[in-house]
Structure 1
Amino acid sequence: MKTRFQCIGWLILSYLLVFLVSSNPVYACSTFKLQKGDQLIYAHNLNQGDIGVPGMVFINNRGVFKTGRTWSELTTKDRSNPSSHSWISRYGSVTFNAFGRDLPDGGMNEAGLYIWEMNEDADYPENTGLPKLDQMNWMQYMLDQYSTTEEAILCASEIEVSGWGWHFFVGDAQGNTVAIAFINGKVVVYNNETMPVPGLFNTPYKREMELLKYYKGYGGQYEIDLEDPQVPRYVKTAALMEAYDPSQNVVDYGFHMLEKITVNDVPEWSVIFDVRSADVHFKTRKNPEIKSLSMKQIDFSNLNPVKILNMDAERGGDVSDRFQAYSNETMKEFIRDLVVPILPEDFFTEGGLTIAEYLDRTATHTDRASQAEYQFFKGVWKTSEEIGLTLTLLADQDRVRGTVSNGKDVYDVDHLSMISNNLTFTFRTKGKRLMEARSTILDDGLEMELYTTEEAA
C-alpha cells in the first residue's frame, strides 16, 4: 500500500520524512465552508504530526505598496527567477503565517474573501509573459486585491505561481467557493455544481467526489462512522454539514467539525473565520484555549503599522489589544527560535545561503517596497485637459496616500489600488458626488478614465 504523507508542503516534507518516518505519522490539512441560513464560516485544521508548528497572526493594512517575491528569489544566493510584480493593497486582511510577512498559509480580507492552502501534488503552468509570485505571496496578493471567487479564478491564470505542491480553497462573503488546483501545467477549477461539498483536503477534488458515492446517503453502502479514521475527511465533512442545525452556535459546531476530521493527533492550528460577524477564532495544540478578535474593530488604514501576535500566546479570549507592531527583528527572532529548530538545516541552506542569510532575506524582504527607486508611482501626475485633474501620490515608507485637485479644490483619494501600473481609486467632490478613476501610469504621463454614478450623472 502506498502511504501518502500530507502537510504544509512537499518541500518541507522531503526533509521531515527523514526524521519522522519511523513513527509513521500522517500529515494533513483541512478546510471547509459551513453555511446554513444566515450562518457562514470558513474553518481550517493544520495537522503536522505533533512537531510544534509555530504561527504568527498578521493584521495587514490597505494602501500599502508591495513588491512581489518568488521562493527561489528569497532562498538562492543569486536571487534566481525574481519577481517584477508590484501592487498597492486595496483591502486589509488577517492572515496566519509561518514563514514571514506577506507569506501566509491562509487568511481572510475585510471584504470576506478567504483563502487557505492544502498540500497536494501541483504542476504549476509556466508562462514567462506573466508576473511571477511564490505561492504564499500569491495568496497575500489575492487577499490584498480581490473580493470574489470569480476574481480569484481569473487571478490563478494571470500570475505565474511557483512553489511546492499545494492546492487552494477560496471562499467569499456570499458563500461562493472554489477549489483551485494546478494539474499537468494547467489551472483546474472546481466550483458551483462541480464542487458539491465545499471542503478541500489532501486528495485531488475529483477523487474525493468519486469516493463519496460509496457511502450511505450519497449512493453507496458504507456507513459514515465519524470515529473511523479510514473514512475520508471529505465524506465526514459532507455528513457533518448535513447534520448541522442552524439553531446551534455555528462557531462551536465548526470546532466540533474540526475535531471530528482531525487526523491522528491534536491539530497544530485550528482556525475559524465567522464571515457574518467578521470574528476570527483560533487555537493551537500548544495553547488550546480559544482566542478571538473582531475584524470589525480593526482599523486597516495605513495610518497604523502592520501588527502581529504569536498564535501560541497564553490565555484565551479577546486578543485584540495584545498585538504589537511588526518589526523585521521580531520576525527574524520568531523564525530563528521557532521555525529553524523544527526543520533540517538543508531546508534553509540548499540555495547556497547560510541560515543567518536566510533569516535576513525572509525577515527583510518587504523592505524593498519602501525604497524610492521602486516607487515609480510616486509624484505629481497631470491628466488630459479634458479631464483637468492633477493626481498627487505620496509614500511614507511603503504606505501610500493621494490627493486629487481640479486646480481649485483638493480631494483625498480613497479605495486606492494598483496592480503593476494600473491604478484605481475613488474620491468625493465637495457636493458629495462619488467619482471613480481608472488610470494607467505611463513613462510620459497618466491616462485616466473618470466615472460617476447614474444618480450624479
Structure 2
Amino acid sequence: MKKMSIVLGHLVFLLGLIFFLAQPCFPCSTFVLIGGKHVYFGRNWDHYTSKGLIIVNKKNVAKTALLAPPETPVQWVSKYGSITFNQIGKEFPYGGMNEKGLVVEMMWLEDTKYPEPDDRSAIMEVQWIQYQLDNFSTVKEVIQSNSKIRISQSWSKIHYLVCDRSGDAASIEFIDGKFVCHTGQNLPVRALTNDTYDKCLDFMKAYREFEWKDKVAHTSLESKDRFVKIAKGLEEFKKGNIKPAVEYAFDILSSVSAGKVRGACTAWSIVYDLNNLQINFKTFENRNIRVVKFSDFDFACSTPSKVLDITKDIKGDVYEHFFQYTKTINRILIQTVFNIYKKAGFMKDIPAYAIAFLSNYPETLKCK
C-alpha cells in the first residue's frame, strides 16, 4: 500500500509537470458567439505540438479521480457522453463538449491559487473538466459543484470558460484560494484569455475610454489585447454579418492566433456548435475544417470508445476515420507527448511505471 501511494504520488506530480510545461508562455483564447438562437464556442489552443486524440467518452461509467493520499478523491458515475480533446491521456482532457451541449475549456492563468484542503473531496485541474462534462448539462450546475468538490494536487495554474446550449456562460477562476465566478450581467463579454476576467474587463474599459483606436488590439497578441480584439469581433457580429457563424468564429480565432512562435504554435482551433451538437476544428498543419457530429456516435458504456488522431490529414466529416480506443493507443499518445518535452529539454526520461500507470488508469473505470 505504501509503495502504491508513492507511485501514485509520483504520477500525479508528473502529470502536473507535463501540463504545467504546456501552458505558461503561450496565448490561448476562448469566447462564446451568439447567432440568433444558436450558440457557438471558439477556442485556440497554443502548444509545442498538435499531437492529440479526439476521444468519445461514455456515460454510465463509474470513476474515481486520480489523486494521491491523503486526499479523498471525487467519485462519480458519468451521466452524459462527451467528446474531448486530449493530449496527456484519456480522462484528462484540455476541453470538450458533452451530449447536452455543455462546453468546458481552460487556459493558463498565472494568478491562480487553488483552495486549501477542506472537507470536500478533490480532483486534479484537468480531470475537473471531464467531471463537469460527465455530470452536468448547464452552467448553473457547474457553478454549484464547487460546494461539493475542489481542485487539489495541481500546480498548473488555469481558469475555465464554460457555456451551455441556452447561451448561459461563466468564467471560473481560483484567486487567493477563493472561487471566483463571472456569469450573467457580470460577464458582459463572453470571452477569456490569460489574465483574470476582471483585469481584462478593466483593460477593455480603458481602451474604450481613451479611444486607442485599433493600434493595440491589431499589433499585439498579449492577453488583454486579445480579449479586446475578441470583444470587438463579438460586437461586430451582433450588427449583422453575411458570413456563416462558424466561419466568422474561425475568423476571430485567426485574428488572435500566435501562428508559430518560440517553438510553439496555435495547435488547435476549435468551434463548437452547441445547438447542432457538432465540433469543427483545424490544426496548425492542416487548415481544412473537419467536422465531428455527436449524432454519429453511441455513448453507451457497453460499446467501445472511439478516438481520432487530431493530426490526420483529412477534411470534412471525419466519422469514418475514428477507430477503437485501446490502452496501447493511450500509451502511445502519452509517450509521444512526454518525448516531445524530453526533446525540448524540459525533462529527463519518464519512469516506465509512470507511463504504464497513466496509460492503464482508464482500465480501472467500469460500467455501472
Q: TM-score, normalised by structure 1?
A: 0.70
- 1:260 equivalent in structure 2: 255
Aligned residues: 341
Please tell me whether the aligned partners of residues 69 and 82 of structure 1 are also in contact (alpha carbons under 8 angstroms): no
2:80 counterpart of 1:112:
no
Contact 2:81 2:98 in 1 (8 A): yes
Work out the CA distance in 2 between the residues paired with 1:354 and 1:171.
Answer: 36
Correspondence for 1:127: 117
Quote the RMSD (CA, aligned, Å).
Answer: 2.4
- 1:99-141 Cα offsets, whole Å, 9 max, x none, are 1111000001111111011000311112331111111111101
Could you list the runs of 4 or more consecutive aligned residues of structure 1 that deviate by over 4 angstroms after TM superposition? 9-17, 80-83, 345-349
Displacement, 1:39?
2.7
Cα distance, 1:16 vs. partner? 7.5
CA distance in 1, matches of 2:165, 2:31: 14
Letter in 1 for 2:114: Y
Aligned to 1:286: 285
Shift of 1:59: 0.6
Which residue of the other structure, out of 228, 233, 242, is the alignment partner of 2:235? 242
Deviation of 1:192 after TM superposition, in Å, equals 1.3
Q: 1:209 maps to what in 2?
A: 201
Tell me what 1:368 maps to. Answer: 364
Contact 1:224 1:235 in 2 (8 A): no
Aligned twin of 1:172: 164
Question: What is the rounded CA distance, in whole Å, between the counterparts of 2:115 and 2:325 in structure 1?
Answer: 34
- Paired letter, 1:155: S
- In the alignment, structure 1 segments of 5+ residues that lack a partner are 1-8, 18-24, 74-79, 370-397, 401-457
Name the CA distance, whole Å, in 2 between partners of 1:139 and 1:185.
Answer: 19
Is the CA contact 1:37–1:246 (under 8 Å) kept in the aligned structure 2?
Answer: no
* Per-residue Cα deviation, 1:313-363 (whole angstroms, up to 9, x for no partner): 111111112111111111101221x201221389777xxx94311211111
| Structure 2 counterpart of 1:101, from 76, 90, 93 | 90
- Taking a change above 3 Å as real, the CA distance of residues 10 and 59 of structure 1, as seen in their structure-2 partners, is closer
SS in 2 for 1:69: coil
Q: Aligned pair 1:233/2:226, yes or no?
A: yes
> Alpha-carbon deviations, 1:261-284, whole Å to 9, x = none?
112535111111111211111111
Which protein has the larger Cα radius of gyration, Structure 1 or Structure 2? Answer: 1
CA distance in 2, matches of 1:283, 1:137: 24
**Could you tell me whether the CA contact under 8 Å between 1:270 and 1:284 is conserved in 2?**
yes
Contact 2:50 2:283 in 1 (8 A): no
In structure 2, distance between residues paired with 1:150 and 1:333: 37
Q: Indicate the residue corresponding to 1:355 in structure 2.
A: 351
Instruction: Select the structure with the greater relative contact order (CA < 8 A; seq sep ≥ 6).
Output: 2
Q: TM-score, normalised by structure 2?
A: 0.86
Q: Distance in 2 between matches of 1:12 and 1:101?
A: 15
**AA of the residue aligned to 2:367:** R
Residue 341 of structure 1, aligned match among 326, 339, 342: 339
Alignment of 1:130-149 (within 5 A): 130-149=120-139
Corresponding position: 1:222 with 2:212: yes
User: Matched residue of 2:60: which SS?
Assistant: coil
More helix by share: 2
Change (3 A) 1:278 1:191: same
Which stretch of the first structure deviates more once superposed, 301-310 or 195-204?
301-310
Q: Alpha-carbon deviations, 1:135-192, whole Å to 9, x = none?
A: 1111101100001111111113321202110001111110111001001111011111
